[in-house]
């Protein structure tokens, strides 16, 4: 809480802000160290075709693996990275590592589309599309196998600029997903101006399937919307059979969640994939699905 008053600068800092400032400093130091010494790691969560069970792709999710306490997830450290200027190097590392891994797996005959989360602060940089172009060239990834996940909020901050960047990305052949769909603002108006390839319906709606009529109504509406705009639709946060059943019956094609697998380190993801593919319908090995 910012206090205005005669007591001077000290009055600006409530106890909460001091704690927050200390936390930010602590995280900033850990992130800087992780960047310098290799303490970041990617985990991968499969994205599954709900009808056939086939794995259509994977989402790369960054972890701070520095062994320090407390353990922090990206929901805690990405916002800090955004405010202290470290999101650019972290984002660059994530994209590079995800592409490197995709190409390595592809060389072993495992063709998986990889989705990478990009935050607003990263996306807004003037050279973002150029960075991705350079990455596609240097990594050798088939651009159709790379998906950039953005939130509506990231895009709506500067719609005109965002549309230009998205067109540049799409010209490369890279695909665009709108993440956490339904939780931002201007969802529907943005869809008329933007060219996304897929929507990811936010997990809060999926979590409400069993108990909340409004959540089901939102899901039904988004399924209809994706269908009529010819967009792929991924449901996030599928944790149980009943959510899976509902989404499949309603015609949602893709999903991810703990019901299938948690995000896993690369070797475990590969093992999961090998076990999983024997129980799923044979995949189309030619094209990069998802
Ligand atoms: P997101 O992109 O919407 O990713 C989905 C989050 O939901 C992940 O959390 C994933 O582990 C979690 N999740 C997946 N299935 C389930 C489920 O069935 N139940 C529940 N309860 N959760 C599930 P995570 O890995 O902690 O990431 C949180 C957020 O941090 C991500 O949300 C994304 O916005 C951000 N993030 C993660 N990695 C990166 C990154 O490399 N760069 C940027 N800029 N942001 C990232
Ligand atoms: Mg995501
Ligand atoms: Mg999401
Ligand atoms: Mg999210």
Q: What is the pTM of this model?
A: 0.91
pLDDT of residue 186: 62
- Choose among 181, 280, 167: nearest CA to 236: 181
CA of 57 to the centre of ligand 2 (A): 12
C-alpha to C-alpha distance for 173 and 288, rounded to whole angstroms: 12
Q: Where are the beta strands (DSSP E) in 65-201?
A: 113-117, 146-151, 175-181, 198-201
C-alpha to C-alpha distance for 135 and 108, rounded to whole angstroms: 21
The pLDDT tens digits for 178-202 are 999 988 776 677 787 787 999 999 9
CA of 180 to the centre of ligand 3 (A): 4
Contact between 74 and 61 under an 8 Å Cβ cutoff? The reply is yes
The pLDDT tens digits for 91-112 are 999 999 999 999 999 999 999 9
Give me the interface pTM, i.e. the ipTM.
0.98
Q: Where are the beta strands (DSSP E) in 36-160?
A: 40-49, 55-64, 113-117, 146-151
Q: 45 CB under 6 A from ligand 1?
A: yes
CA of 51 to the centre of ligand 3 (A): 21
Q: 94 CB under 6 A from ligand 1?
A: yes
């Amino acid at each position: 809480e910012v206090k205005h008053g005669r007591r001077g600068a000290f009055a600006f800092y409530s106890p909460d802000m001091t704690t927050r400032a200390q936390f930010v400093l602590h995280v900033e130091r850990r992130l800087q160290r992780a960047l310098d010494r290799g303490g970041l790691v990617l985990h991968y969560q499969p994205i599954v075709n709900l009808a056939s069970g086939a794995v259509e792709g994977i989402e790369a999710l960054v972890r701070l693996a520095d062994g320090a306490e407390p353990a922090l997830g990206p929901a805690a450290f990405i916002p800090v990275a955004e405010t202290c200027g470290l999101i650019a190097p972290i984002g660059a590392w994530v994209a590079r590592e995800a592409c490197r891994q995709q190409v390595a797996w592809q060389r072993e005959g495992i063709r998986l589309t990889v989705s990478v989360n990009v935050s607003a602060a990263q996306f807004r940089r003037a050279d973002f599309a150029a960075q991705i172009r350079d990455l596609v060239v240097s990594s050798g990834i088939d651009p159709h196998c790379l998906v950039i996940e953005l939130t509506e909020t990231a895009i709506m901050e500067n719609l005109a600029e965002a549309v230009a960047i998205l067109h540049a990305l799409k010209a490369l052949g890279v695909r665009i997903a709108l993440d956490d769909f339904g939780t931002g603002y201007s969802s529907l108006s943005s869809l008329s101006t933007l060219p996304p390839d897929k929507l990811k319906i936010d997990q809060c709606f999926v979590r409400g399937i069993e108990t909340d009529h409004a959540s089901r109504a939102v899901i039904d509406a988004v399924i209809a919307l994706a269908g009529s705009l010819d967009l792929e639709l991924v449901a996030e946060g599928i944790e149980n059979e009943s959510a899976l059943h509902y989404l499949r019956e309603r015609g949602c094609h893709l999903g991810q969640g703990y019901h299938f697998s948690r995000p896993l380190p690369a070797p475990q993801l590969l093992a999961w994939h090998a076990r999983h593919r024997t129980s799923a319908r044979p995949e189309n090995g030619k094209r990069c699905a998802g």
